Amino acid sequence: MTEKNETTLTQLGAQKTIYPAAPEDAVLETFPNPSMQRDFWITFTCPEFTALCPITNQPDFGTLTIRYVPDQQCIESKSLKLYLFSFRNEGAFAERITNRVLDDIVAACAPKRAEVKGVFTPRGGIGITVDVSYP
């Protein structure tokens, strides 16, 4: 069975990929949940996440894992990739980034439940892991 082409999706299949300069410029696109009759988890893993330290302007690297149980809408993965890519020029601490990603996921698709885990590569001998959840 094939799915209908979702005309509301503008980034998937676009002839040219436009990379947003900042998270506020990115658009998290959604499509209708294809299995409303049951709860299920969707997990995205971004092992090459990059942002900037807001103090030193040095790059911070980490792995972000996003898990959610959709309600009416699901996040389209290419738009998520571009959204996460937009943090490359963003100066923010790991705690702020992880909480912002959760807030933006909740705003985009109003999931039943959601979790974001940021595991940031050690700098100065200390790694940081941030776990946030909704509700």
**Tens digits of residue pLDDT in 80-93:** 999 999 999 999 99
H or E, element range at 80? helix 77-85
pLDDT for residue 7? 58
Q: What is the pLDDT of residue 54?
A: 95
Residue from 132, 95, 109, 91 nearest 42 by CA: 109
User: What is the model's pTM?
Assistant: 0.91
Kindly state the helix (H) or strand (E) to which residue 103 belongs, with its residue range: helix 94-109
Q: What is the CATH number of domain 23-134?
A: 3.30.1130.10
The domain segmentation of the chain, as residue ranges, is: 23-134
Residues of the chain with pLDDT under 50: 1-5
pLDDT digits (tens, 9 = 90+) for 48-63: 999 999 999 999 999 9
- The C-alpha angle with vertex 34 and arms to 112 and 48, in degrees rounded to 5, equals 70
Give me the pLDDT at residue 33, please.
Answer: 98
Q: So which residues are the catalytic ones?
A: 53, 60
Q: What is the pLDDT of residue 105?
A: 98
